[in-house]
Structure 1
Amino acid sequence: MSNKNSNIINITNNNLDKILKKSKKLLLIDFWATWCNPCKLLSPIINEISYKYIKKIEVYKINIDENKDTVSKYNIKTIPTIFFFRNNKLLYKIYGIQTKSNICSLIDKHLKLFSNI
């Protein structure tokens, strides 16, 4: 299900694997919780990024309280945590509150690498 006014899709334990296997784009997955203040600060940044890279990446959010299987599978210990996947492979992960420029530089780096292949 998509958020209104957003390009971000909320995902669950049930559809994460399917999304990872199906997508050929760079995926940004934000692990968060409703009670997490750093997550609340990061949320508008993630939303801006979802628009900036609208045709180039896919942006997802997964609530850790509602998706314990995924939290265990990926050993999520800190939130917010952002994972980047491509072709069903975890490329890198970042922890804690991040600046928009830091996240964008990681995305740009990957997109540039991929465009050279």
Structure 2
Amino acid sequence: MKTKQLFLLLFLFCSLVQAQKRLPKISVKSFNENNLDLNLQSMEQVLIISFWATWCEPCIKELNAFNKNLSYLEEELNSKLIAISTDDSRTVSRIIPMVSGNSWDFEVYLDTNQKIKRALNIIDIPHTLVVFQNKIVYEHTGYLNGDEDELFKKIVEINNNEF
């Protein structure tokens, strides 16, 4: 009897862990003060949000990999990639040269006070979210070469209504 109760408790716990988190009502600002409502954007298409900083080497590698596959992400997977910099006021001046120097073609937004990062309970970067219809359907922290392939598979599942 105790085994069945333990199994049921374990099953319920795993179900809760797998439950999708909702994206809180958030908008982000770009350098030119344009706002983007993340909730609205995620209702229209799959939204990939990459949290990064100029001093984070794995972040730069991940964003370079995303940029290399940007046309695949946007055109074939019908998704939108945005990068949210968590650089603070001391390092924010490095963002534009970094974006230009790497020829990144995706939109970059700012979270200099880390309000968004805290709202989403993100501890480490790089941290990537895949959001669809205001639900966070995939999260990944860190970056190793090839991690983007798992993200691409997840987006295919979402587009095929398999999530």
Q: Scaled by the length of structure 2, what TM-score is found? A: 0.55
Once the two structures are superposed, residues 77-96 of structure 1 have per-residue CA deviations (whole angstroms, 9 ceiling, x without a partner) of 11101000001111110010
Corresponding residue for 2:25? Answer: none
Cα distance in 2 for partners of 1:112, 1:97 equals 21
Matching residue within 53, 66, 75 for 2:121: 75
Matching residue within 9, 12, 19 for 2:38: 19
Contact 1:25 1:57 in 2 (8 A): yes
Cα distance in 2 for partners of 1:27, 1:91 equals 10
Once the two structures are superposed, residues 43-87 of structure 1 have per-residue CA deviations (whole angstroms, 9 ceiling, x without a partner) of 210102222222211000000124111011011111101000001
Contact 2:138 2:154 in 1 (8 A): no
Contact 1:31 1:61 in 2 (8 A): yes
Cα distance in 2 for partners of 1:97, 1:116 equals 26
Larger mean Cα displacement after TM superposition, 30-39 or 107-116 = 107-116
Matching residue within 80, 85, 97 for 1:58: 80
User: What 5-or-longer segments of structure 2 have no aligned partner?
Assistant: 1-27, 88-109
Matching residue within 37, 56, 79 for 2:57: 37
Runs (4+) of structure 1 exceeding 3 A deviation are: 11-16
Contact 2:58 2:126 in 1 (8 A): yes
Cα distance in 1 for partners of 2:127, 2:47 equals 14
Q: Give the greater-gyration-radius structure (CA).
A: 2
* SS of alignment partner, residue 74 of structure 2: coil
Q: Scaled by the length of structure 1, what TM-score is found? A: 0.74
Contact 1:49 1:104 in 2 (8 A): no
User: What 5-or-longer segments of structure 1 have no aligned partner?
Assistant: 1-10
Note the aligned Cα RMSD (angstroms): 2.3
